[in-house]
Structures are given as C-alpha cells and as structure tokens.
C-alpha cells in the first residue's frame, strides 16, 4: 500500500547540535572501508566507501574504486557497519517533556532514529510546527509524519473524562481528541484533518460501525491514510496500519484476516515495549519509575514520571481486572502468525507510554522481535528501515543504502546481523546528509539528561 505523504518529508534537513539553522555542510562526506548492510537481503559488503553530497548518497562501492574528493570530511569505517537510518513508527513526540527543548527529537536522533511517525501529539499545532521546521532545516530532528487529532469512541471519551476529573487531573489534553457521533461528523472531521495538514488520521477506539465505515470511506476519497489501534470491532479493510494488539484477542478467523492484510499491504505495529507496565503489578511499576532503579529514566523529566504514576493509579482504580499477561501471549502468537502470513510488521516504541523512552526503546523493540517473535536480525532490521520506507511509499528515497538515496545512515561499531542488540552500538548518525559524530550524539544525550534533572 503506497501512502501519499507530505512532500516536505523528502526535503527534510537537520540542524546541527545547538544551532537554529543548519551549517554549510562539507562538500562531501566519505565513510571509508565500511561494511554496508544490505537490508534487502543481499550479502553484507565489506570494504566499501560511501560518498554523501548534500542530502544524497552519490556513490557506494569498493574503497579501491571510489575516489574520495579533496576536502571531503572522512569518517573511517574499518571494522564498522553501515545501516539505513531507523524509523520509529508509533511515537508521541510533543508530550514528552518540555516542548521548547524537544527532548524526544534529540533522544531519537542520538539513538539513530532518523524518522518518526507521530501518532497523536497535543497540541496538534506544535507537532505540525516541528514537522515543518525540520523539513525547512530550522530545527534538529528526525523526519516527521503527524497524526490528526485522535478519533475516539464518544462513550469511551466521556468515561475517561470522568475518571480524570474524579482524580483531580486536568482534562485539557482531551481537547486533542474527537468522538464523532454521526456519519456527517466523521466525514467533516476527515475534511478538517486534510485542511490542517495532518499526514494520517489516527483512530484509538472505533466509534459505531457505520460511523467508522464513513470515516474510512471519506479518508480514501481524500487520499489520507487511516491508522488505528487494533481495538475490536474494527474495519477489516481500508485501514493502513493497526497498532499495538488485537483487543480483545481473536479466537478464530485469524488466518483469513492476516492473509487479507498481507494481500492489501496493511501493516501491523505491535509496540511490544509499551506493554511493560501492563505485565506487572501497578505498585511494582510505580516503584520502578525512578532513575535510581531504572537508569534509562534519567532521560525522562520528573513531571512526565509523575504523570505516569498518576496514569497508572487512575487505570488501576477504574479499569476492570484483566489477564494482561495472557493477552500478551496472544499478541506474540498473533505476530508469529502474521509473520508467516506475510503481514508487514513495523518497529515502534510508543514512547510517551509509561517507562518508554525515545530511541532507547526502539532498540529494545528490535531485540524483542528476535527473542519473542522469532524474527531473524535481518527481519528485525527491515522492520525499522526498508519496511517503513515501503509502507510510506518512500522506498525510492529511503530505507536502503545506494546512490541517489537520501542520506539517513547509522554507523555501528558491531554487526547487527550477528546480534540485533548491536544496533545500540552507534558510532555516528547521518541525518539528511549531516553528520552527527559520537561527540555530537553524546552532547545531545547530556543536554536531555540535564534538562530532565531540572524538570
């Protein structure tokens, strides 16, 4: 399924660390003597030189045959591995910490994530401004796609509002949600999403079936994809991607459904790492929301950690008891069956969910694809590189390493095909042609950590 997207995405540029506008890049960037990982399935190619000019890869070939121009910035790649930039296909960037500091964008780039599909940020205007500023080269960050205000079932929306008010919490965030009560409201919502510049329409809890059908049909007419949680009952056709898990689990009919999705190009985005809080007692999870116990949380502002605690407490008070561990096993079963059926599975973290950190947890998701779903390291790597590019209709510009492609690259110190956990061993990132070396990446991390400590 080729998804039309904002053309600004293809010209996105990244500013340097600590600058509001991009510098004049070196005439050419040369990564020499590197092993190029072919995510299409071809053999890895050692001893290659990759030349980048502007935002494009201009040459890839044996180091002895590729001439490095005078004045090029040279990065020695001997003993290292080059992969395409990673995508996080389910993220919530704006709500993660201080908006002015854009910590989610910095953390993502520092971990090799050069593309984000934002699946609902409030306020929408901020997400749109970030997307456009990155595309114009005015702000440091990954390429972004942004969701419409999130569609909800009106009854669910009313229940959550009541829970939040009873807990004394602000419901301002709910202004970014919309519960269509009629077919006409659903159609007009689609029109408004197109008008304000959303890249896709996000559905969390489906409204009534006739309203859902009208929304999907109108979105098809307007050329904007619908992406949705796998909460049943859902339309089984016309949806570009299903998120998280099928809920409640399907006891029968999975084989035909998954074959249908594979045939139509619908994708599944499981965000396994975001299930963590559901799989343990609430008291234990709340106790783990502490950087002293969970080191990655040094990148999470104190205000966000407090929000997570409140969110978990409200859920524990109001939700009915449910066997989340059993459901998680159903989710893994479904993913294994989807893999066999040929459904495109995409990597994502759902960062912003409790204990989930931008960048950090995308790598954990890839590890879970291998350990829990049974993917090979190559399959897991494809789920964050080639397959997102194909899903977004960008495979002619992103997702592989070849002349003419946009230069989103990650240089690793170890082979990811030998061990998927080696995607964490990042030596440098190239974001739209601009190099962020290890020192620059460390400065990004330090900046986010320092800001989090002060929030």
Q: What is the tens place of the pLDDT at every residue in 4-21? A: 333 334 334 333 333 334
- The closest of 353, 383, 397 to 86, measured between CA atoms, is 383
Q: How far apart are CA 260 and CA 242, in angstroms?
A: 13
Task: Please give the Cα distance from 305 to 290 (Å, whole number).
Answer: 8
**Rounded distance between C-alpha atoms, residue 135 and residue 434, angstroms:** 14
Rounded percentage of the chain residues whose pLDDT exceeds 90: 84
Sequential pLDDT tens for the chain (455 residues)? 434 333 334 334 333 333 334 444 557 999 999 999 999 999 999 999 999 999 999 999 999 999 999 999 999 999 999 999 999 999 999 988 777 779 999 999 999 999 999 999 999 999 999 999 998 888 889 999 999 999 999 998 999 899 888 888 888 888 889 999 999 999 999 999 999 999 999 999 999 999 999 999 999 999 999 999 999 988 888 999 999 999 999 999 999 999 999 999 999 999 999 999 999 999 999 999 999 999 999 999 999 999 999 999 999 998 889 999 999 999 999 999 999 999 999 999 999 999 999 999 999 999 999 999 999 999 999 999 999 999 999 999 999 999 999 999 999 999 999 999 999 999 999 999 999 999 999 999 999 999 998 76
Q: In this structure, what DSSP letter does residue 422 have?
A: G
* Bridging pattern class, strands 150-151 and 267-269: unpaired
* Inter-residue contact 201 to 227 (CB < 8 Å): yes
Ranges of each domain in the chain: 86-391
Beta strand pairing call for 86-91 and 113-118: parallel
CA distances from 427 to 11, 76, 391, 436 (A): 25, 10, 28, 9
Report helix, strand or coil for 353.
Answer: strand
How close are the terminal C-alpha atoms of the chain, in Å?
A: 42
Q: What would the two tokens of residue 344 be?
A: 């495109």
What fold is seen in the domain 86-391? TIM Barrel (3.20.20)
> CB–CB of 294/373 below 8 Å?
no
CB atoms within 10 A of CB 322: 11
Closest among 189, 247, 254 to 222, alpha carbons compared:
189
pLDDT in tens, 369-419: 999 999 999 999 999 999 999 999 999 999 999 999 999 999 999 999 999
Helices (H) and strands (E) in the chain, counts: 13, 18
Return phi, psi of residue 429, to 5°: -130, 135
Q: What is the DSSP string of 137-200?
A: TSS---EEE-BPSEE--HHHHHHHHHHHHHTT---GGGGGEE---SHHHHHHHHHHHHHHT-SB
Nearest alpha-carbon partner for 347 in 362, 327, 328: 362
User: With contact defined as beta carbons under 8 Å apart, do 234 and 206 qualify?
Assistant: yes
- Using a 10 angstrom Cβ sphere, with 0-12 exposed, 13-18 middle and 19 or more buried, the burial of residue 445 is middle
Q: Across the beta sheet with 241-247, what order do the strands follow?
A: 177-178, 150-151, 201-203, 226-231, 241-247, 267-269, 344-345
Token pair, residue 188, equals: 């007009």
Taking the C-alpha atoms of residue 214 and residue 118, their distance in angstroms, rounded to an integer, is 24
In sequence order, the 6+-apart residues with CB closer than 8 A to the CB of 85 are 112, 113, 114, 115, 142, 385, 398, 408, 409, 410, 429, 430, 431
Element (H, E) at 302: helix 302-318
Query: How many other C-beta atoms are found inside a 10 Å radius of the C-beta of residue 70?
Result: 7
**pTM for this one?**
0.93
Residues 225, 227, 232: CA angle, nearest 5 degrees: 135
Q: Which two tokens mark 216?
A: 């999907």
């Amino acid at each position: 399924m080729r998804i039309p997207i904002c053309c600004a995405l293809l010209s996105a540029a990244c500013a340097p660390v600590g600058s509001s506008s991009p510098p004049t890049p070196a005439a050419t960037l040369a990564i020499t003597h590197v092993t190029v990982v072919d995510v299409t399935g071809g053999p890895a190619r050692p001893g290659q030189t990759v030349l980048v000019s502007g935002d494009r890869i201009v040459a890839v070939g044996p180091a002895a045959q590729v001439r490095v121009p005078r004045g090029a910035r040279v990065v020695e790649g001997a003993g290292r591995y080059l992969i395409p930039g990673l995508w996080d296909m389910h993220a919530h960037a704006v709500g993660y910490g201080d908006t002015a500091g854009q910590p989610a964008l910095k953390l993502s780039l520092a971990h090799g994530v050069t593309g984000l599909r934002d699946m609902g940020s409030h306020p929408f205007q901020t997400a749109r401004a970030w997307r456009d500023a990155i595309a114009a080269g005015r702000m440091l960050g990954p390429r972004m796609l942004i969701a419409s205000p999130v569609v909800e079932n009106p009854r669910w929306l009313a229940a959550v509002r009541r829970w939040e008010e009873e807990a004394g919490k602000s419901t301002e965030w709910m202004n970014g949600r919309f519960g269509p009560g009629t077919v006409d409201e659903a159609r007009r919502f689609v029109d408004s999403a197109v008008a304000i510049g959303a890249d896709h329409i996000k559905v969390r809890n489906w409204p009534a079936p006739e309203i859902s059908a009208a929304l999907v049909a109108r979105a098809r007419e307007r050329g904007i994809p619908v992406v949705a949680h796998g909460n049943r009952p859902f339309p089984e056709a016309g949806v570009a991607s299903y998120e998280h898990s099928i809920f409640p689990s399907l006891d029968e009919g999975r084989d035909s459904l998954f074959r249908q999705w594979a045939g139509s190009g619908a994708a599944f985005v499981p965000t396994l790492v975001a299930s963590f809080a559901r799989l343990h007692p609430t008291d234990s999870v709340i106790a783990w929301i502490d950087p002293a116990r969970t080191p990655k949380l040094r990148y999470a502002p104190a205000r966000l950690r407090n929000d997570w605690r409140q969110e978990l407490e409200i859920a524990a008070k109001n939700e009915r008891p449910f066997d989340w561990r059993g459901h998680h096993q159903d989710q893994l079963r479904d993913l294994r069956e989807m893999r066999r059926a040929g459904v495109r599975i995409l990597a994502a973290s759902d960062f912003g969910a409790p204990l989930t950190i931008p960048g950090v947890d995308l790598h954990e998701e890839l590890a879970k694809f291998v350990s829990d779903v049974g993917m090979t390291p190559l399959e897991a790597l494809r789920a964050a590189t080639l397959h997102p590019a194909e899903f977004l209709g960008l495979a002619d510009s992103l997702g592989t390493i070849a002349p003419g492609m946009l230069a989103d690259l990650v240089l690793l110190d170890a082979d990811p095909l030998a061990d998927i956990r080696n995607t964490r061993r990042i030596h440098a990132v190239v974001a739209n042609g601009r190099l962020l070396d290890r020192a620059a990446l460390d400065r990004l991390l330090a900046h986010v950590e320092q800001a989090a400590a002060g929030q």
